Amino acid sequence: MNVAQNAGLHRYTLPNGLRVVLAPDSTTPVVGVSVHYDVGFRSEPEGRTGFAHLFEHLMFQGSESLEKLAHFRHVQSSGGTFNGSTHPDYTDYFEVLPSAGLERALFLEADRMRAPKITEENLRNQVDVVKEEIRLNVLNRPYGGFPWILLPPVLYTTFPNAHNGYGDFTELEQASLDDCAAFFDSYYAPGNAVLTVAGDLDVDNAMALIERHFGDVPARPVPQRPSFAEPPPAGEVRGEHADPHAPLPALAVGYRVPDPVSELDGYLAHLVLASVLADGDGSRLQQRLVHREPLVTDVSAGCGLFGPFEARDPDTFTVTAVHAPDVTPERVLGALDEELDKLAGEPPSTEELAKVTGRWASMLHKEHDRITSRTLGLGASELLYGKPELLYELPGRMSTVTAEAVSVAAKSLRPDSRAVLTITPAGGAA
C-alpha cells in the first residue's frame, strides 16, 4: 500500500477505492473521524428535491449490525459527539470521541457504509422529520431560506444549481425504497468517499483498524461526476419573494465567482473583497449603509451559500441587506455599485488589506485548532481539491492576496451580470 506523507498527513487508498487521510496530533486525548461522500444537493435526481438531505437522515437509522438509535447510544456512551450535514457537493458524517473510542467510530461508519438499514418505516419517519425541519427553519421563520434557497433559482437556470436542496414536500413524500437503493448504490460506494481520522492516534494502529473495518466493504462502480457549469447571467435578473414573517424588506445580490478549485487565487480575492465590504464595523458597507447614511439595519457579504470552501464551480458571491420600508432596493444597489466601483478604481490601502487578511488568517488557524473543524476540513479538502494539506495552506495563501487582486475582484462584480432577489414583508411592498 502506497502511503503518501505531506504536512504531517498520511494519505492512501484502500483496494476498494476508499481514500484515507490520517492527521496525527497527540496534544489532546481526542480523535475525530469523518466520512465525506461525493454527493450533495447538486447530484440529487430531478423530481426528488431534498433527497440528498433525506438520505443523510436515513444513514442514522440503523445499519447491518446495529438497530435504530444504536449509533447515537454507542457514541454518547463513549463521551463523544456526532452529526452529519448535506452540502451542495458533498455529504459528511463525523464522530469526535476520546481517543480510546477510535475503533468504535470506525466500526460505526464502516457498518453503515456497508449496509444502512433503510426500511419503509424509517423512510416515512424521516420524511416527516425533514418536513418538520423545513417548517421550523424555512416556512415559519422570518427570512427562512434567505438567501440560500431563494437566490439560486434567480441566479442559475439549471436544475442542479437552481433547485431547493431542502426539498419540496410532495417530492419528499414520493420518495421510495427503490429511490433509496439506487441512490445508495450510485453514491455511497467506498470509491466515492473519503475517510479522515485526526487527533490522538498511532498511524500504524489506525491503518490496521481501518483495514479491519473498511477493507471488506465491497467495491462498487463510482459515478462520473457531471459538470454543473453554466454561463453567468447575460444581464441583471430579478426575483421577488413574499415573506409573511419578515418584519422588514430585504434584498440579496448574487454574482458568480471564479471556480474555487481551478481558480483558487481568484476565489480567495473575492473572499477578501467580501470582508473589505462587510466584515466588521469598520468595513465599507457597514460604515456607509449602517452608520453614515443610514440605509440598512444589517448588511453582509460572502462567498458560498453555506460558507467558503464548500463547493466546486459554480459558486456564488452574495451581498444581503435588511432595510427600512421607506428605503428602495435601488438606493441600496446604487450604494453597493458605488463602493464596488471605488474598489475597482482604487485598491484597498495596505492597512485595510492587512487588517482583513490578518483576520482571515487568525480565523482559519482558530478553526483548525478545533478537532471537529480540522477533521471535516481535511476531508472536504481531499474530496474537492484532492489536497487535504490545503487546509493548512489557506491562512498563508489568504495573507498573500494583493490589493490589486481585490480590485480585480470588485471589477468583476458587474450590475449587468447579477441576480437581485427582493424580500417583501407581510402587508407591504419593498
pLDDT in tens, 161-219: 999 999 999 999 999 999 999 999 999 999 999 999 999 999 999 999 999 999 999 99
Q: Which residues contact 33 (CB under 8 A, 6 or more apart)?
A: 94, 95, 96, 97, 102, 105, 106, 109, 195, 196, 197, 375
> Coil, helix or strand for 142?
coil
Chain center to CA of 7: 24
Q: Is residue 428's pLDDT more than 70?
A: no
Query: φ, ψ for residue 24 (rounded to 5)?
Result: -70, 140
d(CA 382, CA 385): 5
The mean predicted confidence, pLDDT, of the chain is: 95
Q: Which residue reads 433559482 in cell numbers?
A: 153
d(CA 40, CA 44): 7
Q: Tell me, what's the pLDDT at 7?
A: 74
pTM value surpassing 0.75: yes
Domain termination residue (choose one: 182, 214, 246): 214
DSSP bridge partners of 298: 322
DSSP bridge partners of 97: 31
Q: Which residues contact 75 (CB under 8 A, 6 or more apart)?
A: 81, 82, 95, 97, 101, 104, 105, 108
* Pair 271, 206 in one domain: no
Residue 107 placed within a domain: yes
Cell of 390: 490545503
Average pLDDT over residues 251-260: 97
* Pair 273, 186 in one domain: no
* Pair 274, 126 in one domain: no
pLDDT tens by residue, 360-411 = 999 999 988 999 999 999 999 999 999 999 999 999 999 999 999 999 999 9
> Coil, helix or strand for 321?
strand
* Pair 188, 324 in one domain: no
Q: What is the largest CA-CA distance in the chain?
A: 66
Q: Is residue 430's pLDDT more than 50?
A: no
Q: Which residues contact 99 (CB under 8 A, 6 or more apart)?
A: 29, 30, 31, 199, 200, 201
Find the radius of gyration of the CA atoms of the chain. Answer: 23
Residue 30 placed within a domain: yes
Domain housing 275 = 237-347+402-425
* Pair 94, 198 in one domain: yes
Q: Tell me, what's the pLDDT at 152?
A: 97
* Pair 241, 193 in one domain: no
Residue 379 placed within a domain: no
Chain center to CA of 4: 27
Residue 32 placed within a domain: yes
* Pair 174, 208 in one domain: yes
* Pair 207, 301 in one domain: no
Residue 354 placed within a domain: no
d(CA 368, CA 374): 5
Q: Tell me, what's the pLDDT at 325?
A: 95
* Pair 198, 249 in one domain: no
d(CA 356, CA 372): 25
* Pair 185, 279 in one domain: no
pLDDT tens by residue, 326-344 = 999 999 999 999 999 999 9
pLDDT tens by residue, 276-334 = 999 999 999 999 999 999 999 999 999 998 899 999 999 999 999 999 999 999 999 99
Residue 368 placed within a domain: no
Q: Tell me, what's the pLDDT at 426?
A: 76
Query: φ, ψ for residue 64 (rounded to 5)?
Result: -50, -45
Query: Domains in the chain: how many in total?
Result: 2
Domain termination residue (choose one: 214, 248, 275): 214
* Pair 98, 169 in one domain: yes
Q: What CATH number is associated with residue 168?
A: 3.30.830.10
* Pair 68, 158 in one domain: yes
Average pLDDT over residues 2-21: 90
d(CA 184, CA 176): 13
Residue 430 placed within a domain: no
> Coil, helix or strand for 196?
strand
Q: Is residue 239's pLDDT more than 50?
A: yes
d(CA 306, CA 308): 7
353 within 8 A of 406, measured Cβ to Cβ = yes
Residue 230 placed within a domain: no
312 within 8 A of 259, measured Cβ to Cβ = yes
Q: Is residue 13's pLDDT more than 70?
A: yes
pLDDT tens by residue, 103-135 = 999 999 999 999 999 999 999 999 999 999 999
Average pLDDT over residues 128-151: 96
427 pLDDT band, cuts 50/70/90, is low
Q: Tell me, what's the pLDDT at 2?
A: 73
